[in-house]
Amino acid sequence: MPAKTFLNYYLKESKVERILFGDNQFFGVNHMSEEKARAQAMKFQDIKAIIDVLDAAYDEGIKVFMCTTHERIGEVCDHMRAHPERYKDFQFYPCMPYAHKYANAVTEMGILEALKSFLPEEGAFNAMFKGGMSLAQKDVEGLGQLLIDAEMKMFHDLQTPVIFLQNVVTDLLLGLDFKEAFRIFADHVKNKYNAEPGFITMNMPKLLDVLEELGIENPIVCSNINKIGFRMCGGVDAYENAIAKRHFRPVAMSVFASGAIAPKEALEYVCQQEKIESIVFGASSRGNIRQTKQLIDQMSSYA
């Protein structure tokens, strides 16, 4: 890492907010029940219903919305921009990309055409292929930057201090051993958006090894952390060990394992691990948001 980037990185490294509000409930994602997911998708098909819940979370003191770059988030962004006073402390932690958009497009169009369809303008993409040169010889970094920019477009003029790479992409790149892509992501997010890179993964201990090797210091890594080890590859012990001993900023998601663990028990498990910086959770009602936040606050204060 060049000295300037390194310094820059350290100067602005900040604590991740303790409580992050997630968005799975808004888009029909529920890892335990498709029926529940569908009911939620219906409930939140009107953007106002989403805003109401975000307002409730914000008024309860949760300032961060950790959200996928789903196209409907664009409408949320419009709302926030239209009411700057109301949301002056509101922050987005975008998680990119919304992978199903890509996966469905790849099935329909093939990899190259799918990439093309998500870039801002065809000219930029075509320019990369001119002269019959292959993508690799040209500019993978440039392509990566264009894809990141396309996903970030909806957040213009809003606060995005942390930008996450979604787990399906992180874990695809990690499995392939495509380490350079993590560096491309981290650099672009820092340089262009003045934000900190975050990585969502289902294979946390393994990802830490690679980020360490790349010299990405004290990374923000979001992974499932729950008592029953649901989608924690490497196992509960390896996770607990990594959290206790390794130098990174852990963000816990899926702490309730989609409802398989009772709230109090689930949050106790996470809050007891002092080095976990943040907890992301989703809820659909003010009552649930308040209750969960109170539990986290209580347990964090005497942890």
Partner 1 sequence: MIRVALIGLGKMGLSHHAIINPHPDVKLVAVCDSSGYVLDILNKYVGIKCHTDYKKMLAEEQLDAVFIATPSRFHGEMVRAALDMNLHVFCEKPFCLDLTDGQRLMELAESKGLVNQVGYHYRFVATFQEMKRLVDANAIGRIHHIRAEAYGPVVLKPKGSTWRTSRSEGGGCLYDYASHGIDLVNYIVGRPHSVGGTVLSKVFSRDVEDEVYSTFYYPDGKTGQIAANWSDESYRKMSTSVTIWGANGKITADRQEVHIYLRDGSNEKLNLSKGWNTRYTTELTGEVWYYLRGEEYSAQIDHFIQSIKSGCRDTRSTFRSALEADLVAAMMIQDAKNSHVDAAFPAGIGSAPAKKGKLWPSFARNLLD
Q: Which chain residues interact with partner 1 by CB under 8 A?
A: 27-34, 41, 100, 103-104, 106-113, 134-137, 140, 168, 171-181, 202-203, 206, 228-231, 233, 235, 257-258, 260
The residue among 1 and 168 lying less far from partner 1, judged by its C-beta, is: 168
- Given a contact cutoff of 8 angstroms between Cβ atoms, the answer to whether 38 and 252 are in contact is no
The residue among 11 and 136 lying less far from partner 1, judged by its C-beta, is: 136
The residue among 140 and 150 lying less far from partner 1, judged by its C-beta, is: 140
Q: Which residues contact 201 (CB under 8 A, 6 or more apart)?
A: 167, 170, 171, 174, 207, 221, 222, 223
The nearest distance, CB 181 to partner 1, in angstroms, is 7
Sign, Cα dihedral of 225, 36, 87, 162: positive
The nearest distance, CB 128 to partner 1, in angstroms, is 10
Altogether, the residues listed in the chain come to a count of 303
The nearest distance, CB 101 to partner 1, in angstroms, is 9
Angle at alpha carbon of residue 119, lines to 113 and 121, rounded to 5°: 105
The nearest distance, CB 211 to partner 1, in angstroms, is 15
The nearest distance, CB 146 to partner 1, in angstroms, is 15
Query: CB 150: neighbour CB atoms within 10 A?
Result: 17
The nearest distance, CB 100 to partner 1, in angstroms, is 5
The residue among 67 and 195 lying less far from partner 1, judged by its C-beta, is: 67
* Alpha-carbon gap, residue 100 to 106, rounded angstroms: 10
Q: How many CA atoms lie within 13 A of 223 on its CB side?
A: 32
* Alpha-carbon gap, residue 120 to 288, rounded angstroms: 39
* Alpha-carbon gap, residue 274 to 250, rounded angstroms: 10
Strand partners of residue 199? 165, 221
CA distances from 220 to 16, 37, 204 (A): 8, 28, 11
The residue among 7 and 109 lying less far from partner 1, judged by its C-beta, is: 109
- Token pair 């308040």 is found at 290
The residue among 7 and 172 lying less far from partner 1, judged by its C-beta, is: 172
The nearest distance, CB 179 to partner 1, in angstroms, is 8
- Token pair 């509101």 is found at 90
The residue among 39 and 55 lying less far from partner 1, judged by its C-beta, is: 39
**What Rg do the C-alpha atoms of the chain give, in angstroms?**
19
